[in-house]
Structure 1
Amino acid sequence: MNFKEVEKLIDIFSKNSISSIFLKEGDFEIHLEKNAPASQVQIPQVQNVAPAMPSVSVVAEAPSTTPALSTQEGEFIKSPMVGTFYRCPSPNASPYVNVGDKIKKGQIIGIVEAMKIMNEIEAEFDCKVVEIVANDAQPVEFGSNLIKVEKI
C-alpha cells in the first residue's frame, strides 16, 4: 500500500462513522480507531477507495463497552509515544502492575513497543492503580491513557 492510498483511506475513515478499521497486507499493517456511537457503525466500500489496490482484509467493529474504557476523568499514566502497549515483560510473565497495587515514582508500569524497540513506561509519581485502561498488546497513540491512578 503506498502513501497516497493510506492518505485516502485515512480521509475516508475520518469522514465515516465507523469506529475501528484494521488492514493487513503482507508485512504492512494499519489500525485506525476513533469513538463513534454503535448505531452509526458502517463498513465502507473499500473496492471504491482505490481500484488499483490489491485485496486487503477490512474489519469494522463497534466501540468496546468493556469497563477498561469506562471512565476518562482523573489522573492517568499516558503513553509517551505511538506503539503497542504491553502489560507484561514477556508473554508468560505476570503484569508489571494490577488494580489496587501501590507504585512508586520511577516504577515500570508497562512497555510501549515502537519500531521493534521496547520502551519502559514509568510512573511519574507515587500512586495507587485504580483501573487498567489499555489492554495487553493494544495499539496506543501518543497521550493514550494506559492506567488510571490515584496519587498518594
Structure 2
Amino acid sequence: MLKIGDIRELIRLLDETSLSEIHLESEDVKLHLKKPEPEHTVTYAAPVQAAPAVAPQPVVQAAPAASGQAPAVTNERPAAANDEGTHVIVSPMVGTFYRSPSPDAPSFTEVGSVVNSKTVVCIVEAMKLMNEIEAEVNGEVVEVLAENGQLVEYGQPLFKIRLS
C-alpha cells in the first residue's frame, strides 16, 4: 500500500525530472501521474500604419486540449512580451503568493537583488503544498508585481527581471 509521503515523493520526482508520466500498478493500487501539456500563446500584431491608429489585435491563449474549452480571447499584452531586455516570472499555478519561507523570515528577493536561474524568488502555496518558484533567468529584480499573501492566478506576473 502506498503512503501519502510516497505519493508526494513521486509527484516531486515527476516535477523535477524530464519524465512526462509515471504509471504504477500492483494488486491493490493503481497510480497514474501525468504532467499537463504545456499551454500555447498565440499573439497577432497589427501592421504598422502611419495614418489612423489601429486598435491592438486580440491575444488568443489556447487552453489545454484535455479541458475541451474554447480559447480565451483578451486584449491584454502577454506578460512575457514586456520591455526588451526583461523577463517576467509568472505564476505556474493558482495559489497564495509568499515572498518569504515563513512570516518572520526575510524575503527571498528584493528589488535590486541579483538572481540566477536557480534562485528561489517566492513560494506559491497550492493545496497545502509550498511550491518554490525559481527565477528561470539570470538578472536583477526590478519590480515585485504581487503582494505578500495575495491569491495569484495561473500565468499572473509575479516579478520583472532585467536580464544580465
TM-score (norm 1): 0.52
Could you tell me which of 129, 146, 150 is aligned with 1:117? 129
Could you tell me which of 129, 149, 152 is aligned with 1:140? 152
Could you tell me which of 121, 129, 148 is aligned with 2:141? 129
Aligned residues: 81
Aligned pairs for 1:89-108 (under 5 A) are 89-108=101-120
CA shift, 1:96, in A, is 0.1
After superposition, give the CA deviation of every residue in 1:42-61 in whole Å (9 maximum; x if it has no partner): xxxxxxxxxxxxxxxxxxxx
Q: 2:90 matched to 1:78?
A: yes
Counterpart Cα distance in 1 of 2:88 and 2:147: 15
CA shift, 1:123, in A, is 1.1
Structure possessing the higher relative contact order (Cα contacts under 8 Å, 6 or more residues apart):
1
Counterpart Cα distance in 1 of 2:120 and 2:138: 12
Counterpart Cα distance in 2 of 1:146 and 1:125: 14
Instruction: Give, as a single letter, the amino acid of the residue that structure 2 aligns with 1:118.
Output: M
CA shift, 1:73, in A, is 2.9
CA shift, 1:142, in A, is 0.6
Per the alignment, residue 163 of structure 2 pairs with 151
Instruction: Give, as a single letter, the amino acid of the residue that structure 2 aligns with 1:129.
Output: V
CA shift, 1:85, in A, is 0.5
Counterpart Cα distance in 2 of 1:118 and 1:79: 13
Counterpart Cα distance in 1 of 2:160 and 2:137: 13
Counterpart Cα distance in 1 of 2:110 and 2:91: 17
Instruction: Give, as a single letter, the amino acid of the residue that structure 1 aligns with 2:123.
Output: I
CA shift, 1:120, in A, is 0.2
CA shift, 1:151, in A, is 0.8
Flag the structure with larger Rg: 2
Per the alignment, residue 63 of structure 2 pairs with none
